[in-house]
Amino acid sequence: MDPGRLDDQQLMKELETIHRTRHDTLLYGSNDALRAHNERMAQLEGEYLRRNPRRPVAAGRTREGARERQSGECATPRS
């Protein structure tokens, strides 16, 4: 199904499922399965980002924050 046709709850469920199955698909899936997984994940993530352009970003998930994290600081989301 086209991610644009999913409601927010369905989109989150699809994202949770695809992220949960990612590792096994990488390790044990065929090349075709991995390619299909990559395409679907990109579609779902793209739709999430389109709907949430101003989502909170954890400071520790930026390059600057990663450097600080190495210095012992913890990551907290910021708006």
Place of tokens 């369905």: 10
The pLDDT of residue 78 is 56
Q: How many helices (H) and strands (E) does the chain have?
A: 3, 2
Residues of the chain with pLDDT under 50: none
Interatomic CA distance for residues 12 and 2, integer angstroms: 14
The pLDDT of residue 24 is 97
The pLDDT of residue 64 is 81
The pLDDT of residue 61 is 81
pTM, to two decimals: 0.77
Distance of CA 66 to the CA centre of its chain: 18
Token code pair at residue 30:
């065929």
